[in-house]
Structure 1
């Protein structure tokens, strides 16, 4: 692949993640407006982020967009970033352990993606996570990501809608792909020390390189496109539903599971901190309040 083609593909991926971010931010602020009430509708605070390069040079960055204390969203973050540079020794070892070739010889990298986590004001409205990304080294490239639903009070019809919408977006990319990525999510979003999943699953993939960049990019775009139609109707249905103190207690305890997973197991959290990205942006996923029994 020529340098010009490579630059074009990376730019297209980064532009797509930013476009998806803009669509989701607008949709979430519209939900805040639709909820009504005497409290002000929530709005995102947008902060530029910067990756710290070891030599003090430019290493990329992004936008951290966080809404707190809204009518619908107690805390939600929608971050995008494009970072590059040289991986440190710990990150090189982690990549080599995953089978990424050539890390010892040339540890340069480029990565771009979107990461979203929503913690809801109403315990009946499910929390959610979504992430898609592209990663490049001089020796390879891949896509990864997915989305998963994390209700503290599960409704079978909500779970069914979330999964059916994702399946509809994945089916054009090949028979059996949804089942494959669903099984991958079930395995990845599992909390071994609790012996349970952190939610009701979704889809997940990593290291996606079929050899056809355009096909893999189209797949990661459809994973992103599936998010709003899979999730927004659930919020619209549940955001004004009455709840009790017991419901709120269940929500806070469930958030503890989410925090444990993200701090102990999540690959993106580990990578972001290991490569010097803005810590506040990396840890944006943590809930505003949580409880352990």
Structure 2
């Protein structure tokens, strides 16, 4: 059994909010630095809410969405803190995947995190995903998250840079950790029905509980803090690259692949919808335009 972890919950939720603020500020700076004649994009902030089955408050969060900017066609940086009791389906999944049979007797939970997806105007700039989260039950706590790069037009140097920064976030926490989390991402972000990965990978972890909460939280903070150094230089490198309609077609088809993964396989999408969170926030990750053939 765990205690209520109120101090730890407060620290985690505050960190996710701080990281959201830093990322949105950086995204605004990227918008300002582009010479396009369109107005620079700015995040529209909307509060989200979650209501439990009995109608009581069950937490919520904030969506920060940039639409139609100079650099970002659609970018969402969401934070949330939700709580309540897990429904029967979520309990069953938790018992099966986490090995916590006690969930049936006491299905309370608390979860907080940040979730980010960016779809870019220029097809040469890679799309990207990042999230980190903390989950608590009376029976166990754990962290999860990661980041992965999703270019429709691949550049080896961009992939190498992204992975180098992610490795730098992992290395202080164990010599083999990056290799383990990279392999986990390669397996998690694989699309079986397409027999291919959705992007060029990154790192992914879940169920992180070494028994040392502070150490596991530090890893989660390091992964979150690595996001901007991993991604922003790639945006600046590519956002003035000339592109044509063929590039746009390539981008639209790749976005279709991204949408397929998120709707069919992504655990976060399934959990958010099954536990009653705001569907607009859960589906924020979907691209603004996509094509299938």
User: Where on the TM-score scale, by shorter chain, does this alignment land: which range?
Assistant: over 0.9
- How far did residue 55 of structure 1 move? 1.5
- How far did residue 51 of structure 1 move? 0.5
The answer as to whether partners of 2:3 and 2:138 remain within 8 angstroms in 1 is no
Q: Structure 2: state its 5+ residue gaps.
A: none
How does the TM-score come out when normalised to structure 2? Answer: 0.98
Q: Quick one: distance in 2 between partners of 1:189 and 1:203?
A: 10
Q: Quick one: distance in 2 between partners of 1:140 and 1:114?
A: 20
Matching residue of 1:54: 53
Q: 1:34-93: per-residue Cα shift (whole Å, max 9, x none)?
A: 002211000001000000111211210000111110000000000000000000111111
Q: Quick one: distance in 1 between partners of 2:271 and 2:64?
A: 20
Matching residue of 2:76: 77
CA RMSD of aligned residues (A): 1.0
- How far did residue 196 of structure 1 move? 0.1
Q: State how 1:190-205 maps to structure 2 within 5 Å.
A: 190-205=190-205
Structure 1 segments of 4+ aligned residues over 3 angstroms from their partners: 1-4
Q: 1:226-272: per-residue Cα shift (whole Å, max 9, x none)?
A: 10000000000101110011100000000000000000000000000
Q: Quick one: distance in 2 between partners of 1:64 and 1:46?
A: 5
Q: Quick one: distance in 2 between partners of 1:226 and 1:100?
A: 31
Q: Quick one: distance in 1 between partners of 2:96 and 2:70?
A: 44
Matching of residue 34 in structure 1 with residue 33 in structure 2: yes
Q: 1:193-230: per-residue Cα shift (whole Å, max 9, x none)?
A: 00000000000000000000000000000000110000
- How far did residue 100 of structure 1 move? 3.9
Q: Quick one: distance in 1 between partners of 2:195 and 2:245?
A: 27
Q: Quick one: distance in 2 between partners of 1:38 and 1:161?
A: 30
Name the SS of the counterpart of 1:118 in structure 2.
strand
Q: Quick one: distance in 1 between partners of 2:274 and 2:99?
A: 17
Name the SS of the counterpart of 1:42 in structure 2.
coil
Q: Quick one: distance in 2 between partners of 1:215 and 1:242?
A: 44
Q: Quick one: distance in 2 between partners of 1:54 and 1:260?
A: 29
Matching residue of 1:111: 111
Matching residue of 1:91: 90
Q: Say which is worse superposed, 37-46 or 186-195, in terms of deviation.
A: 37-46
Q: Structure 1: state its 5+ residue gaps.
A: none
Q: State how 1:105-254 maps to structure 2 within 5 Å.
A: 105-254=105-254
